[in-house]
Amino acid sequence: MSRRPELILASASPRRLALLNQIGIDPEHLIPGHVDETPERGELPRRLAQRLAHAKAVEVHRKAKQSGLAENALVLAADTVVAVGRRILPKAETMDEAAACMRLLSGRSHRVFTGMCLISSSGQAKHRLVDTRIRFKRLSAKEIEAYLASWEWNGKAGGYAIQGIAGSFVVKMSGSYHAVVGLPLFETVNLLASEGYPVHFNWLNPANLSGV
């Protein structure tokens, strides 16, 4: 009888871990994937999200093989890119970057691309891309100033986290809320189930569920 596969989450993001826990999945291993996230010349936002998710999964799969973890494990990676048209917004690291993002997003629509990659123990990769459209309210100078003071934007793609203060800026959204947070749950469950991961195991054993 074959062992059930283990799951390696290729991320240090507490948000992605929390989203997995929300659907009763507790990865056996957390191994962050560190890759250069600089867009290539002329690279489109959707391509960048897909490429980075794939690169992170490949890097973590390589680490897992070196440490002997990959024999019966799946590696799940994701990356989120915020864009206005073809323009890719940065993961804001300075107040000036965050301010520029807020001024650009104010009163207009933008897209959030979340790329996913799942690598099986045999090294085969499966990919998904979720495209979510969001429209922000028109932000006043006072609102932008107050938001910048919160520092919630620090390290966030596009300078905001939809699950935080910036959620109050959203006028309309079409797509996956969870993808914008960092991991689309519908696609995650389908990807894992397609590789034999027991996504329902903890559903059948409620005592194992986190936060219940």
First to last CA, the chain: 31
Tokens representing 42 are 């002329």
Tokens representing 186 are 């519908």
SS3 203: coil
**Cα–Cα distance for residue pair 99/85, rounded to 1 Å:** 19
Tokens representing 149 are 């003071």
**Cα–Cα distance for residue pair 109/103, rounded to 1 Å:** 12
SS3 160: coil
Q: In this structure, are residues 89 and 23 in contact, taking their beta carbons and an 8 Å threshold?
A: no
Task: Choose, from 26, 79, 96, 131, the residue flagged as catalytic.
Answer: 79
SS3 71: helix
Residue 49 CA to its chain's centroid (Å):
9
DSSP at 162: T
Q: Residues 195, 199, 201, 204: what is their CA dihedral angle, to the nearest 10 degrees?
A: -140
Please indicate whether residue 79 is annotated as part of the active site: yes
Q: In this structure, are residues 74 and 6 in contact, taking their beta carbons and an 8 Å threshold?
A: yes
Q: Which residues are catalytic?
A: 79
